[in-house]
Amino acid sequence: MSGPLARRWRLARVLLSVTLAAFIEYRAEVLIWMIAGTLPLIMMFIWMGLAANGPVGGYAAADFAAYFLLVFILRQFTVCWVVQPLSREIRLGEMSARLMRPLDPYWTFVADHMVALVMRLPIVPPVVLLGLLLTGAFAKLSLAALPLFLVAIVGAWLIRFNMHYSLGLVAFWTDQATSFEGLLFTIYMVFGGALFPISLLPPTAQEIIALTPFSYMIGFPVDIMLGKLSTAEMLRGFGMQAVWTLAFIGLRHLTWRQGLKRYSAVGA
Amino acid sequence: MRRYLTLLRIFVANSLQLELEYRANLLIDFVSSLLGFASGLVVIYAMFSNARAIGGWSLPEAIALFGVFMIFEAFIEVFLYPNLGKLPDYVRTGNMDFMLLKPLSSQFLVSFRYFNVWRAPDAIVGSALLGYGMLQTGGLAPVSIGLAAIMLLAGAVTTYAIWCMLTTTAFWWVRVSNVMELFNAFFVAGRFPVTAFPTWVRVILTFIVPIAFITTVPASAAVGRLDWPMALGSLAIAAGFLLLSHLFWRRAVASYTSASS
């Protein structure tokens, strides 16, 4: 391996092993966050109950089961809490220590989140599989779409993480970054389709929501796995995912550079 | 008792003073309340545009229930997060020492020191929804208002007691700064009537984590659906959980060894 590549590989390994050690220390907290994400399952029970006497808006009970179990996967594997630690470190000046390291702090936070995903791997898929079998919803999945579903999850993660990272960086200007996170979360849950499938809304509302980044963070990947999308719709969806990913990566770079100028001006 | 009431007044005034330093919060919290309210109504709209009832509850009844849910969300944000939410950190850092040194009930001090007043508007919006639901069903009879108020109070006591017991576990487990989120895992079910869930979930929400008594019962009282076993059960659970939380607290404090080496 050549020099820079070997260095990068070594960095990634060190970073991941350090964060893994930290996570094992806090494993109870990680487990609690995992359990606390029950909302999609609650919504699943409610919608299944509503569809017990016949389909609701084209969804039978098993369709709702499949839909919300997939939403659960999306919520668990795009989990993102970067706003809190990032804005706190900027506010309290702890960012200075990180800036001394020969690595963009971005990657430390990415490593944190990657480890959280790895720790969910042995738990979430078996739970979802069990749920699919118990509700008889397994047949509703389009298994051939699995590779595309995984790609769409990566896209969803990239949009979500870069969006939240940019929001956390707002702490360079104001100490309200964390309050905005609550607002963003409410919109994300509704527009993303975590509370009900967006296809239950009037067509105009659906079209407007399809322009926002939120539907590509939950609803779009879920619809792929349910086999609801035509090739054209899928291409358009992946295109939108790419556009929003690039937009938020760009925003992140911009806020980071402008923020750092400010940070050095203020001094820590 | 008089002393505790006086202290409570001072704590509220002091929290207000503290919060007034962060006035920008007011606007964001207001928009936040509005959005939470809107998203709740959108969900109810999506459901009732496709069905006539949820678990046997009509549209105005479901709106009243969502109002109760918002009132409890406000209760949690105003009272529980700013106080009990900090307990795991007090234990981890050893700041718990200062709580124990004061000539007061330590449970009182840890539970009622700070108030996040900006989240109180949620309770007003919630009450308005509850009132609307009542107007559309049985009307605003003094009896239903009184009953609903008593059931809300019982629900608040139960919620407090569960939070208190959850956060008290920090005395033994230390690294559980987010343990109260376990309550949320069940509480999110409280925006829907407990009858809308499959039987096994209903059993959990009634007898194991009594969310049914926290939101469904007060809303039932408001819209005239309350039956006596549930009403009495709610009072019994509130009293029982409160006592349990106090006993649990005393055991925990007795085993506290501070954080210094």
d(C-alpha B134, C-alpha B126), whole Å:
12
- Report the range of poorest mean pLDDT among A216-225, B14-23, B52-61, B95-104: B14-23
Question: Phi and psi dihedrals of B57, rounded to 5?
Answer: -100, 130
What is the spatial distance between Cα A81 and Cα A112, in angstroms, rounded to a whole number?
10
Cβ <8 Å between A196 and B186:
no
- The whole-number pLDDT of residue A14 equals 83
Query: Which residue on chain A is closest to B175 by alpha carbon?
Result: A26
At residue B231, the pLDDT reads 94
Alpha-carbon distance of A127 to A131, in angstroms, equals 6
Bridge partners for B54 per DSSP: B57
pLDDT one digit per residue (tens) for chain A, 268 residues = 457 788 888 888 888 888 777 777 777 777 888 888 889 999 999 999 999 888 998 899 999 999 999 999 999 999 999 998 998 888 888 888 888 877 888 998 998 899 888 888 888 999 999 999 999 999 999 999 999 999 999 999 999 999 999 999 998 888 777 778 888 999 999 999 999 999 999 999 999 999 999 999 999 999 999 999 999 999 999 999 999 999 999 999 999 999 988 876 555 4
Choose among A36, A49, A176: nearest Cβ to B182.
A36
Q: Which amino acid is at B85?
A: G
Q: What is the pLDDT of residue A239?
A: 97
Report pLDDT for B235.
96
Number of domains chain A contains: 1
pLDDT confidence of residue A12: 82
Q: What is the mean pLDDT of chain B?
A: 90
| CB-based contacts of B77, cutoff 8 Å, min separation 6 | B116, B119, B122
Which of B179, B188, B203, B211 would best serve as a mutation to test chain A binding (most A beta carbons within 10 A)?
B188
Contacts of B47 in chain A (CB under 8 A): 46-47, 50, 196
Identify the domain containing residue A196 by its residue range: 3-266
Q: Residues B71-80: pLDDT tens digits?
A: 999 999 999 9
* Residue B204 tokens, joined: 């959990």
CB contact under 8 A, A186 and B39: yes
Burial A18-49 (b: 16+ CB within 10 A, else e): ebeeebeeeeebbebbbebbbbbbbbbbbbbb
Nearest chain B residue to A183 by CA: give it. B32
What pLDDT, on a 0 to 100 scale, did the predictor assign at position A266?
Answer: 53
Give pLDDT, residue A268: 45
Q: What is the pLDDT of residue B126?
A: 94
Helix residue spans in B112-257 (DSSP H): 121-136, 142-168, 170-173, 181-187, 199-203, 211, 217-222, 228-254
Across the range B3-11, mean pLDDT stands at 89
> Min CA distance, A264 vs chain B (Å)?
25
Decide if B25 touches A, using CB distance below 8 A.
yes
pTM, two decimal places: 0.90
pLDDT band at B260 (very low <50, low <70, confident <90, very high): low
Number of residue pairs across A and B with CB atoms under 8 Å? 91
Site from B25, B39, B57, B194 to mutate, A interface, most A CB atoms within 10 angstroms: B39
pLDDT (0 to 100) of residue A11: 81
Spell out which residues of chain B touch residue A26, defining contact as CB-CB under 8 Å: 175
In angstroms, rounded to a whole number, what is the distance separating the alpha carbons of residues B124 and A182?
A: 20
- Choose between A170 and B174: higher pLDDT: A170
Q: Which helix (H) or strand (E) holds A129?
A: helix A124-134
- Top pLDDT among B204 and A119 is at B204
Among A218-222, B169-173, B248-252, which is the least confidently predicted range?
B169-173
Region B178-185: what's the mean pLDDT?
88
* Chain B residues within 8 A of A198 when measuring between CB atoms: none
Q: How far apart are alpha carbons B187 and B149 in whole angstroms?
A: 20
List, for residues B95-152, the tens digit of each pLDDT value: 888 888 888 888 898 898 888 888 888 899 999 999 999 999 877 889 899 999 999 9
Tell me what pLDDT residue B261 has.
Answer: 46
Q: How far is A92 from chain B (nearest CA, A)?
A: 17
**Closest-CA residue of chain B to A198:** B46
Q: In Å, how far is A144's CA from the nearest CA of chain B? A: 31
- Report the complex ipTM: 0.89
**Of the candidates A248, A95, A125, which has an alpha carbon nearest to the alpha carbon of residue A184?**
A248
- Among B24, B47, B178, whose Cβ lies nearest the Cβ of A176? B24
Q: In chain A, what residues touch B175 (CB-CB under 8 Å)?
A: 25-26, 28-29
Residues in A closer than 8 angstroms to B35, CB to CB, are 183, 186-187
B175 → closest Cβ in A26, A183, A200: A26
Q: How far apart are CA A63 and CA A197, in angstroms?
A: 11
